[in-house]
Chain A
Amino acid sequence: MFEKFSHEARTAVTASQEIARDAATRRIDTRHLVVALTRAHGPARDALETSGVDVAALSATALADLRSGGLDADALAGIGIDLEAVRREADRTFGAHALERAGRRPGGHIPFAPEAKKALELALREAIRLKQKRIDGGHLLLGILRADCAGRALLVDAGVDIDSLRTVIEDRRRAA
């Protein structure tokens, strides 16, 4: 499947690996892909900007979300755990940013989450549906919009009109 990816799409997939490493996440999900797509010049970023999305703000929100990892301070506070206090104690015993370091994999390959694999599959199907031979960032974005995934939720939370974004991407595909 990857041999059909455009340069932009390959770059995005590779970048999502680096984003996962930087943010110390254990898996790559569609939020990583969305951030990667906002960084690469190509149809995906063009479509987002045409739809009036502030890509820098979207990327920053997503990264903050990724960096907080599976540690939800509000949810923990609900059961009486003060995450900041735990973080302070951990820093004191194990050195600065101990909890963040501990969330990081020792290196090597970070696997894709099932939802991200699904979105990549759907991207392939979108390319076939639109009768295009190569899968570019636009198709990846369409795949993310089709999937029930974190990346789609991220866009919805940012106030993106999913249907109109889809139309923008598809119109550009047809024009291309």
Chain B
Amino acid sequence: MVDGMADRELVESAAGDDPAVGLRAVRSLRELADRLESLQVTRARQLGWSWQDVADALGVSKQAVHKKHGRST
């Protein structure tokens, strides 16, 4: 178990040290957040949320959320 932990720390520190991996993680996170946002907004709209409700929850303007998701929902 001690060995396992040491291995994991090694892997984690290697990943954390390499900017290429770190940047890929950031890019993936953005993509993931975008996709989850699209799914959540669609669902909220189907459940009857107004664009204003969605915008408030996301902390952005109603115009911004409508521009981004207006067509797909």
- A81: which B residues are within 8 A, CB to CB? 25, 29, 32
Query: Is there an interface contact between B25 and A102, defined as CB atoms closer than 8 Å?
Result: no
Q: Determine if B64 is an interface residue (Cβ-Cβ < 8 Å).
A: no
Are A78 and B12 in contact, CB atoms less than 8 angstroms apart?
Answer: yes
Flag whether B60 is at the interface (Cβ < 8 A). Answer: no
Residue of B nearest to A99 (CB): B35
With A75-B25, A78-B22, A98-B39: A106-B31 Cβ-Cβ less than 8 Å: no
B67 within 8 A of A: no
Q: How far is the CA of A79 from the CA of B21 in the complex (A)?
A: 10
A91 to B27, CA, bound (A): 22
| CA–CA, A79 and B17, complex, Å | 11
A75 and B21 within 8 A (CB):
yes
Least CB distance, A110 to chain B, in whole angstroms: 15
A7 CA / B14 CA spacing, docked (Å): 48
Size of the chain B interface, CB-CB below 8 angstroms? 22
Task: Tell yes or no: A163 within 8 A of B by CB.
Answer: no
- Supposing A72-B24, A78-B22, A94-B43 touch, asked if A102 and B29 sit within 8 A by C-beta, the answer is no
Contact of B39 among A70, A71, A90 (CB under 8 A): A90
Contacts of A158 in B (CB 8 A): none
Across the interface, B24 reaches (CB within 8 A) one of A75, A98, A99, namely: A75
List A residues at the B interface (Cβ < 8 Å): 69-72, 74-79, 81, 83, 86, 90, 93-94, 98-99, 102-103, 106
Can you list 7 A-B pairs with a CB-CB distance of less than 8 A?
A: A71-B31, A75-B22, A75-B24, A76-B28, A79-B15, A93-B43, A99-B32
